[in-house]
Structures are given as C-alpha cells and as structure tokens.
C-alpha cells in the first residue's frame, strides 16, 4: 500500500488578502536554496525510517505557498529528489501548484518541472474580473492566466486544475458565471471552486471586523454554489467533493487520500502527516530555545505527545522556515508536535473527511478498517441526520444530500466523540 507525499513550499511573491496559509513573501534566492536543502535533508531522514522502507509514493503533491516561486533549477532538483529518496510508483500522480503570475513567458520552469516528472498542474486563478483579482491581492491578470495555461500545455501538461473562488466581496452571480464559462474555455480536467472563508488574522478578516468587506448576500452566494454544480456538471466536470469538480478519471488522487483518511507524509515547514509509526517519534519541538517562538498548530488545547510504534499518529512540522531549517541543520526531524488518534477519533475523522466526498463513506471499507459496522457505531446519529434530510444511506455508502453538502458542519460535528 502506497503513501501520499506532500511537499510544502512556503514562499509567495505577495500574500493574498484572504490567505492564512503558512506562506511568506520576500524570501530571496539564497533563502530558497537553504530551504530546499533542508527539505532534501528531511527526505533523507524519512527515507531512512522504517515507515518508508518498501513503501511506494503513489501520489506527490507540491503545494504552498507558491512552488513556482522557486526558480526552475531548484524546482527540478526538488522533484527529482523525491524519486531518488523514495520509490515513486510508476504512473504516480505528481501535482505542482502554480501561480499564473510566476510562470515565465518562455515556460522554462514548467518545462523543467514536467521533464522532472510533474504530470498535473494546479493554477490559482480565482476570478476573471480584474477588480476582484486586485481586491484579492492576486499578482496576475486574467490574460496572464490564459497565457500560463497555454504555457503549461506547451510544456506537456494535459491534467490541469484551476482554482476558483466565489462569495467574494461585491461579486455577483453573473460575474461568477462568467468566470466559470471562461475557466471552462481553458479546458481544464479539474476545477476547485471554493466559497470564500474569511479567516482570522487575514486582512480580509480585519476588513470584515471594520465593516468594510461587502460580501454578497446569502441568496447570491447560494446561487453561485448552485451555478458551479450546474455549469461545471453540464461541461462534464462532475462534483465529487464539497468544492471539487473533475472530468471522469481526473479526480485528484492525492486529495482523495486525505478525504479517505489514508496515510500521508508531509514534508516542509508546517506540513502535516498522518501515518502508522513503526519507530518512536520523539525529540519533538524546536531545535533550540532561541527558536521556541514557533507557534503550535491549531490551538494550544491539542494534547500532544511523542509518537510510539503502532500509533496512528498525526504530527506536524515546525511552522516557520527558520525553525524548520534549524532542526534539520542540527540533524534531526523538524517535527513540532503530534497526537496519537484513538479509534473513536479516527472513526470520526474517517466519517468527517469521507462525507466531504459525493461518494461518501463506503460502509464496507469502514467495516474492514475498524472491524465494526457504521450502524453499530453511528446508528442513532445517522438516523437523526437522515430524518433531517442531510444524509442518505444508499448503495452501501453513507453520503450527504445536496442540502447536507451546504450544511456539512452540522453533519460532521455529530460524529465527534463526546
């Protein structure tokens, strides 16, 4: 059984106004070089651990930040390194996230990435309207999106995703429909359409607090969500997750691993992993006291403990590039903290993540994994949610109704252990 591998590149040319990801603007070439060096060290350390011995990498996802903020040579070195340290499965899905504003006109970066093994590219597009792109703090225009997609095809990419956003300040349903049709005209195999989440700590959040973020009315946002399903569906991109649409055969295999709650290894600063440990994972935290400013992921209520062999362990790396690099330069894994999931927690997360997908949670797969039927664990909850019209059980799966997809949180929280 293979594993999904994620590599985090925390660099951006400019931070978008809605973004709360672990990414930083203003890092120069030397700093990028130092970071990639650290990433290679981390690969080496993991390659030597029992969890990765004989475990093929079935999907690779290079995300960020903006991986294409790296120069072509670094990018190429990084992708090739994966094949050198790990057993990259033949036919593995290798996705590269890209910002249309970071793709050079000659397409050199994309050529090098494709040549090194990348076979899927995901562009952050967001909207067609220039006023929206500016308002979001994007560094590119709609015309540059078109050029970047053309360059990707030119480089050899045929599996192309476009990220879109809706529910943006002042955005109208008509504008979003225009964006959808325009995006389809670029012939992607996959589209992610996200309803804007105003995250704490972002400029958007501050604007909202100050009453200066004129989000569209509820009905308009609802219309946009429905338009996405309808327009993309009509063009052959079927919804398969809350925010994801794909042509048949082009679902993102890497992300399916997350939603099926299967093992993944995340490398790079702040990256998260979830896998069954075969050797202790201790000596957590920052490398030296001077670096302890790195903040704990999520909130401080997460009960963290070193991992023991056999643990179904979720853990995350030190968040800032500086702390992350310091640990690796000291010769140790840059894991900040982690938690062992108990069975109730893992079952809950399997339901929560699985119900994000249109296909839902396979009852057979659940029973095989946990040795108990979905009914024996969640019978009452499922009955109530079915009665409320949020969920159905059919064809051997538990899945959300279209209404449930809009009210997912109401469903998911019911699976959390008390």
Partner 1 sequence: MADQKHIRNFCIIAHIDHGKSTLADRLIEYTGLLSDREMEDQVLDTMELERERGITIKAQSVRMDYVADDGEHYLLNLIDTPGHVDFTYEVSRALAACEGALLVVDASQGIEAQTLANVYMALEHDLEIIPVINKIDLPNADPEKVKREIAEVIGLDVSTAILASAKTGAGIKEILEAVCTLVPPPQGDPRAPLKAMIYDSFYDSYKGVITYFRIFDGTVRKGDRIRLMASGWEGVVDELYVFRPWLTPVEELSAGEVGALAATIKDVRQVRVGDTITLADNPAREPLPGYRKATPMVFTGLYPVETNDYNRLREALEKLQLNDASISFEPETSEALGFGFRCGFLGLLHMDVVRERLEREFGLELITTAPNVVYRINLTNGQQQMIENPAAWPDPTKIESVEEPVVKATIITPAEYVGPLMELCQDRRGTFLNMEYLSPQRVSLHYKLPLAEIMFDFFDQLKSRSRGYASFDYELAGYEQANIVKMDILINGEPVDALSCIVHREKAQRIGRALVSKLRKLIPRQLFEVPIQAAIGNKIIARENIPALRKDVLAKCYGGDVTRKRKLLEKQKEGKKRMKAVGSVEVPQEAFMAVLSTSEEED
User: Which residue ranges make up the site for partner 1 (CB under 8 A)?
Assistant: 4, 6, 194-197, 218, 221-222, 225, 242-243, 255, 257-258, 264, 266, 270-274, 297-299, 301-302, 314, 316, 339, 348-349, 352-353, 356, 388, 390, 405-410, 412-414, 416
Nearest approach, Cβ of residue 264 and partner 1 (Å)? 5
Collapsed DSSP state (helix, strand, coil) of residue 144: helix
Nearest approach, Cβ of residue 366 and partner 1 (Å)? 18
Structure tokens at 378: 């969640």
Nearest approach, Cβ of residue 205 and partner 1 (Å)? 15
∠ Cα 269 51 374 (to 5°): 95
Q: Which is nearer to partner 1, 120 or 314 (CB)?
A: 314
Structure tokens at 337: 């903290």
Q: Which is nearer to partner 1, 191 or 271 (CB)?
A: 271
Nearest approach, Cβ of residue 105 and partner 1 (Å)? 31
Q: Which helix (H) or strand (E) holds 6?
A: strand 3-9
Yes or no: say if 94 and 117 are a contact pair by the CB < 8 Å rule.
Answer: yes
Nearest approach, Cβ of residue 404 and partner 1 (Å)? 9
Q: Which is nearer to partner 1, 48 or 197 (CB)?
A: 197
Nearest approach, Cβ of residue 195 and partner 1 (Å)? 5
Q: Which is nearer to partner 1, 105 or 409 (CB)?
A: 409
Q: Which is nearer to partner 1, 81 or 225 (CB)?
A: 225
Q: Which is nearer to partner 1, 333 or 405 (CB)?
A: 405
Structure tokens at 150: 């053309």
* Concatenated DSSP letters of 168-232: -TT--HHHHHHHHHHHHHT--SEEEEEE----TTSHHHHHHHTT---PPPHHHHHHHHHHHHHHH
Nearest approach, Cβ of residue 255 and partner 1 (Å)? 6
Yes or no: say if 296 and 38 are a contact pair by the CB < 8 Å rule.
Answer: no
Yes or no: say if 59 and 90 are a contact pair by the CB < 8 Å rule.
Answer: no
Q: Which is nearer to partner 1, 114 or 264 (CB)?
A: 264
Q: Which is nearer to partner 1, 255 or 362 (CB)?
A: 255
Yes or no: say if 94 and 113 are a contact pair by the CB < 8 Å rule.
Answer: no
CB count in 10 Å sphere of residue 383? 13
Nearest approach, Cβ of residue 348 and partner 1 (Å)? 8
Yes or no: say if 138 and 16 are a contact pair by the CB < 8 Å rule.
Answer: yes
SS (H, E, C) 67-135: HHHCCHHHHHHHHHHHHHHCEEEEEEEEEEEECHHHCCCCCHHHHHHHHHCCCEEEEEEECCCHHHHHH
Yes or no: say if 198 and 20 are a contact pair by the CB < 8 Å rule.
Answer: no
């Amino acid at each position: 059984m293979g594993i999904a591998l994620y590599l985090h590149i925390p660099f951006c040319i400019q931070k978008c106004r809605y973004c709360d990801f672990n990414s930083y603007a203003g890092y120069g070439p030397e700093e990028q070089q130092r970071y990639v060096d650290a990433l290679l060290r981390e690969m080496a350390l993991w390659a030597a651990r029992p969890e990765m011995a004989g475990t093929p990498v079935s999907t690779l996802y290079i995300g960020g930040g903006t991986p294409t903020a790296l120069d072509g040579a670094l990018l190429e070195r990084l992708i090739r390194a994966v094949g050198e340290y790990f057993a990259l499965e033949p036919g593995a899905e290798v996705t590269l996230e890209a910002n249309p504003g970071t793709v050079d006109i000659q397409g050199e970066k994309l050529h090098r990435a494709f040549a090194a093994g990348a076979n899927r590219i995901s562009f952050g597009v967001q909207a067609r309207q220039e006023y929206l792109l500016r308002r979001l703090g994007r560094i590119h225009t709609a015309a540059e999106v078109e050029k970047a997609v053309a360059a990707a095809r030119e480089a050899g990419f045929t599996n192309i995703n476009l990220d879109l956003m809706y529910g943006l300040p002042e955005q109208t349903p008509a504008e979003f429909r225009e964006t959808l049709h325009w995006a389809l005209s670029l012939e992607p195999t996959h589209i992610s359409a996200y309803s804007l989440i105003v995250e704490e700590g972002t400029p958007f959040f501050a604007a909202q607090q100050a009453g200066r973020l004129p989000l569209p009315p509820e009905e308009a946002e609802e219309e946009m969500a429905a338009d996405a399903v309808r327009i993309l569906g009509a063009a052959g991109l079927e919804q398969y997750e809350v925010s994801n649409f794909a042509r048949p055969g082009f679902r993102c295999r890497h992300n399916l691993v997350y939603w099926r709650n299967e093992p993944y290894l995340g490398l790079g600063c702040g990256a998260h992993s979830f896998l069954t440990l075969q050797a202790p994972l201790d000596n957590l935290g920052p490398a030296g006291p001077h670096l302890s400013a790195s903040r704990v992921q999520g909130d401080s209520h997460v009960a963290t403990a070193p991992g023991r062999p056999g643990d179904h362990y979720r853990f995350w790396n030190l968040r800032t590039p500086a702390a992350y690099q310091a640990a690796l330069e000291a010769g140790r894994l840059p894991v900040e903290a982690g938690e062992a999931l108990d069975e109730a927690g893992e079952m809950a997360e399997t339901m929560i993540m699985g119900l994000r997908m249109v296909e839902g949670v396979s009852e057979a797969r659940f029973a095989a994994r946990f040795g108990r039927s979905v009914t024996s664990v969640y019978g009452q909850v499922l009955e109530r949610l079915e009665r409320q019209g949020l969920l159905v059980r059919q064809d051997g799966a538990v899945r959300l109704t279209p209404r449930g997809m809009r009210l997912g949180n109401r469903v998911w929280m019911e699976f959390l252990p008390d």
